[in-house]
Amino acid sequence: MWKIEASGRMDKDFVLLILSSPSGAGKTTLTRKLLESFPELRFSVSHTTRAPRANEVDARDYHFTDRRGFEAMVEAGAFLEWAEVHGNLYGTSLAEVDRAKADGCRGMIFDIDYQGARQIRAKLPTVTGVFILPPSMQELERRLRGRASETEEVVQRRFAVAKLEIEHYAFFDYVIVNDEIDKAFDQLRAVILAERARRTRRASLAEALLRERKA
Ligand code: ADP
Ligand code: 5GP
């Protein structure tokens, strides 16, 4: 079982990236592009009690489960974080992160809400949080509607919660406006590259160079 170190740190070159936004702002689209560009990163497949959308595949998009199964996992302490979002339960299992580490991945992307982001940050302070904003509320509504898989009721519910989610933007390290997808993607890419160059991740390399000079 994967253990969180006492310092709250995972391995230095393992980047943990949280992507959060109101529903419809473009997290899923951006995540897909990220995984194409950074195949060494792993998408964290959450568990959810939500019903699958027509284009979703079990174990690729989510581990779809019923409420009872989800609650049993909560009882067993199997989640790194979990929360109720839009009336459904969602959670990141510890096993998901374990597997990525065992497979030699260089990091994980979590598509989770602000409640989950808060729980992960409390356990792993070095996590990087990115909040995606739509260019306007009108465009957000248009995108929610454009996702043909949703009923009008679901669109309305998600839109109503959007402002609550946006209220939590200050909790994140970076805020990216997803107006043009390519521009938003460039910014997200830049965040990952910058996170990899953090001093705290480079300390052992710098120390090795200093030792070389002395020798
Ligand atoms: P989320 O995962 O945040 O709920 P999605 O990635 O599913 O959002 O995007 C919602 C809808 O908006 C999708 O139909 C997607 O194709 C579209 N979309 C995403 N980004 C953009 C963009 N920059 N411009 C126009 N449409 C977009
Ligand atoms: P959707 O139903 O559109 O896939 O996701 C709805 C919301 O749930 C999004 O804000 C998404 O980020 C969030 N979500 C998805 N998986 C998780 C998870 O494992 N934990 C938490 N806390 N939120 C999640």
- Taking only the tens place, the pLDDT of each residue in 116-141 is 999 999 999 989 999 999 999 999 99
Cα of 178 to ligand 1 centre, how many Å? 9
Neighbours of 99 (CB within 10 A): 16
| Closest ligand to the CA of 114 | 2
pLDDT at 192 over 80: yes
pLDDT-based confidence at 214, cuts 50/70/90?
low
The finding on whether 143 has its CB within 6 A of some atom of ligand 1 is yes
Average model confidence (pLDDT) across the chain: 91
In this structure, of 5-14, 51-60, 86-95, the range with the lowest mean pLDDT score is 5-14
Listing from the earlier edge strand, what are the strands of the sheet with 46-48? 62-64, 46-48, 88-93, 79-85
Cα of 76 to ligand 1 centre, how many Å? 35
Buried b or exposed e, range 76-93, using 16+ CB within 10 angstroms: eebbbbbbebeeebbbbb
pLDDT at 33 over 70: yes
Cα of 145 to ligand 2 centre, how many Å? 18
Which has the closest alpha carbon to 141: 4, 11, 8, 24?
24
Q: Which of 29, 30, 161 to mutate to test the pocket of ligand 1 (most atoms within 8 A of CB)?
A: 29
| Domain residue ranges in the chain | 12-40+106-215, 45-105
CATH 3.40.50.300, domain 12-40+106-215, yes or no: yes
CA distances 210 to 12, 199, 201, 205, 213, Å, are: 19, 15, 16, 9, 5
Cα of 19 to ligand 2 centre, how many Å? 10
pLDDT at 4 over 70: no
**Atom 2 of ligand 2, residue of closest alpha carbon:** 50
pLDDT tens digits for 144-171? 988 777 788 888 888 989 999 999 999 9
Is the pTM higher than 0.75? yes
Question: Can you tell me the distance from the alpha carbon of 72 to that of 196, in angstroms, rounded to the nearest whole number?
Answer: 37
17: β partners: 109, 128
| CATH superfamily assigned to domain 45-105 | Guanylate Kinase phosphate binding domain (3.30.63.10)
